[in-house]
Structure 1
């Protein structure tokens, strides 16, 4: 019988698990067809034990994918019991309520076998550019309008691909080559994960992962409880109003710290919207616990153990716990505001560890054209990831043009222009957009786009912080509000499908982050550098912030 591993061996095996899942993610990153995956990293990858507990997640990935996928595998196990799984099986879904929040994210799960025994499951998620319906925008009035809905199904059985299902997927997208290719890339990365895990188990003489899984989860849970115990116990509330679709939406949260952990309750939050800005509870939970982790336990690995003591609730039927068949395509708009909600609560208990409000939600530029291309795609469709500024931090300025909390990278202009008939006339930091303060909020961007062929094109707008910009804190100024318009002068709506006319240009001004502290206390040399760099108007000049 193998002796119980010592502390060093446990640590070596843990580090190997991280290497395994990161290679899994890199395979997905390098084989994906969708540019939002291979260029921006909008994906997740992880290893789960036989109980459906997430043991390790890849460094590459987004919290919305990872932390909702953390629960998704349990739904696969419920639908396909472990004893029915066979080597070569692959399972798939894009169910927003049991996956990652909207139909454009495919979740694939693959059982891993070692010496004929099921030892764990690999799961992965990526964003697909088009799965039919109205497209990636908030215009739909129910989820069925938003695209192809795949329940928990077998994509492959004992190595035999489900050709009927693949044909259905291919027939329900404007980008059949990309969509089919992305599905294969998801399957491939899980296969690589399985091979690397088996190699690791052979090397360490492991017959199963049970003891290692318990060690990882128990240690992580204990570490989080230790961090929670160092916080002052109590309950703190916070509210935030954002633009919504056709009316403002107010979010409310109460965060309670106790000896059992931290619970965030969103009672008092507004009702579900009639348009696709609603958030399934899985996605609400994903970004809420990410915010808690950043503030309370940033150095503790993210897995089932560390997440166990961070819990979330939201009233059923609210915009943060929308019931099927509510439209949810643009769930990131509201969902990515939730770390700011957590920080707003915790700033009353640990003000030196949380930032001011930031842009938070991605300003993804979803562009679409109608002309069919030579590859059989029915027009072009692309999400150009872009971002505003983050909120100022207690000891540092906010980050400019940075996607927090999602963590995705910005799409390079060269990639967007190579894959679509568009031209980027401008993409630069937006002066005076970061909120003034002792620490300044991060700056947003100015982006100007035109058709390369002179044809009209569509923008599936899903933007926020236009009417309710990020708020400053402790005397810091608000960040600049976002804006969307045409170069000819017309103002566009922040949400909804709209057309950029032939010969005109789309102009976007992404928001800046809120400032922190009295602007009069800002270091003179820091202000001088900003003025010299053209990021801040000289003091006393018209429009100075």
Structure 2
């Protein structure tokens, strides 16, 4: 097969085949990770990601199509931190790390980095992330809404060698398992992540064997250049100028006052720069965001607006983000960060959407639900005679957009994850879902209304459990744009011994001990509306009435 000519470089057919081949390597890693994991949050909800990362700076070369978008930028920073931290990597090594301050998110997102060797030389890195339902800490599941330092949130792991030249370091494993709950599940998740990396190494070796090292490297460089060109072409459609957006968080879980995310976006031709320095200062509670998560939030926001640009390091070249030091979205040790990846990231993205809404209304949408709805329930099941931890997140409404209503029960803005089937949860844990339904009236009104959130009630059947919540949009509904109204706020109700309680911080709380018959009810936000409500067509109104909305 001819792969190059002197005038045009690599031929387009080979370029496309290699591009899809790299994606397939990552997607197969995702599949192995999913099918071999013990935790339903990975095997059923796909809260994981796998990718290929470059030498030197850890830049993203490719990520699986089913990987969580928020990990696009995060795992670049993780891989880069491992490169900086370890100069002793050998063939067969696997690095384990979850340190938020070293290119991470919250402690429950545990990363592994494997140097990939080809013909005796390191060629790239294979990295993945899996959300472990627990990494220790004050509350089961790790979503400790009242933590005031990272050490209260769980086990923090610097880049350590889990595998040494193909052999698992049992001392490292023992330390990890001794510090987390339900350790028999975690060893399964550990082996699943390693298996995914091994599968990626086999497939990547086959790809390079087939097309040759020089051709694959040339294709990667060309793909990065093309992604940059596409992104620049999109940015060039935004009128030059400075645009401002503000999003608010309910509280940090400790101090019951809102936090502000303020973004200024400067567009100059095909370059775009972000300044978040006017955001609130570091907070006491766990809603601080580390730099890797803040940076990745900007990347994912732009990808939502321009979704057709292929994911690799090239698409980020036109995007400049100033480090917002001195704010709660630039967390430094020992600030707690449990809510950064699942919640703060979505508020950052919301601020970006609101800032650009007037500039490019034909490419923007009203704010989505913007919360993962994190709920953890941990306890002892007397029937199975075992401890358990159930971690669950739910969907919400997407914002109305320029051509239609928002999606109902869409996944969070940061991912492609889906809620775990309630039937699976009922089989594994001592709970039953009394109802799971569309939350009517939750979409913001507009020419195109927001999508609806969901409503569910989960009840304890036996034993005991302790519930914790870390959610958002409980005080401020997802905003509409261009005259659209905001979506409904998040609501949580807990019933213990027949008494209904609402958390003091509305969307956050912990330490709710539940017994048989006690229940938790959650109503997730709807999306904001797009355009003036009076501009909504009679046809769309009748359609909603016909469907019973």
* CA drift at 1:404: 3.2
Alpha-carbon distance in structure 1 between the residues aligned to 2:120 and 2:61: 21
Matched, 1:44 2:49: yes
**SS of corresponding position for 1:380:** strand
Alpha-carbon distance in structure 1 between the residues aligned to 2:429 and 2:364: 39
* CA drift at 1:79: 2.0
Give the match for residue 177 of structure 1: 184
Residue by residue over 1:291-320, the C-alpha shift from the partner in whole angstroms, topping out at 9 and shown as x without a partner, is: 11221x321111111112212234323111
Alpha-carbon distance in structure 1 between the residues aligned to 2:3 and 2:365: 48
Alpha-carbon distance in structure 1 between the residues aligned to 2:439 and 2:59: 44
**Count, aligned residues:** 529
Alpha-carbon distance in structure 1 between the residues aligned to 2:343 and 2:405: 24
* CA drift at 1:2: 8.5
Between 509-518 and 161-170, report the one with greater CA deviation: 509-518
**SS of corresponding position for 2:207:** helix
1:111-510, aligned counterparts within 5 Å? 111-134=115-138, 135-206=142-213, 209-244=216-251, 245=253, 246-259=256-269, 261-295=271-305, 297-331=306-340, 332-370=342-380, 379-406=387-414, 407-453=416-462, 455-487=463-495, 488-493=499-504, 494-499=507-512, 501-502=514-515, 503-510=517-524
Alpha-carbon distance in structure 2 between the residues aligned to 1:144 and 1:527: 52
Mind listing any 5+ residue stretches in structure 1 that lack a counterpart?
Answer: 536-545
RMSD, aligned α-carbons: 1.9
Distance 1:230 1:435, change over 3 A: closer
* CA drift at 1:209: 4.6
* CA drift at 1:445: 1.1
* CA drift at 1:287: 1.3
**SS of corresponding position for 2:302:** helix
Give the match for residue 101 of structure 2: 97
Give the match for residue 82 of structure 2: 76
Contact 1:232 1:349 in 2 (8 A): yes
Mind listing any 5+ residue stretches in structure 2 that lack a counterpart?
Answer: none
Matched, 1:522 2:529: no
* CA drift at 1:208: 7.8
Distance 1:456 1:160, change over 3 A: closer
**SS of corresponding position for 1:417:** helix
**SS of corresponding position for 1:353:** coil
Alpha-carbon distance in structure 1 between the residues aligned to 2:3 and 2:464: 68
Residue by residue over 1:193-225, the C-alpha shift from the partner in whole angstroms, topping out at 9 and shown as x without a partner, is: 010011111111336853233222222222222
Contact 2:233 2:270 in 1 (8 A): no
Alpha-carbon distance in structure 2 between the residues aligned to 1:32 and 1:67: 24
Matched, 1:110 2:117: no
**SS of corresponding position for 1:450:** strand
Contact 2:277 2:325 in 1 (8 A): no
* CA drift at 1:374: 5.7
Contact 2:261 2:347 in 1 (8 A): no
Distance 1:443 1:518, change over 3 A: same
Between 285-294 and 525-534, report the one with greater CA deviation: 525-534
Alpha-carbon distance in structure 2 between the residues aligned to 1:485 and 1:105: 28
Distance 1:404 1:515, change over 3 A: same
Between 173-182 and 362-371, report the one with greater CA deviation: 362-371
* CA drift at 1:5: 3.2
Residue by residue over 1:226-275, the C-alpha shift from the partner in whole angstroms, topping out at 9 and shown as x without a partner, is: 22223211110111222113211111110111236211111211112211
* CA drift at 1:59: 0.5
Contact 1:458 1:498 in 2 (8 A): yes
Give the match for residue 88 of structure 1: 92
Contact 1:456 1:499 in 2 (8 A): no
TM-score normalised by structure 1 residue count: 0.93
Alpha-carbon distance in structure 2 between the residues aligned to 1:90 and 1:373: 38
* CA drift at 1:279: 0.6
**SS of corresponding position for 2:28:** helix
* CA drift at 1:522: 1.6
Matched, 1:61 2:61: no
Between 340-349 and 481-490, report the one with greater CA deviation: 481-490
Give the match for residue 542 of structure 1: none
Alpha-carbon distance in structure 1 between the residues aligned to 2:494 and 2:269: 54
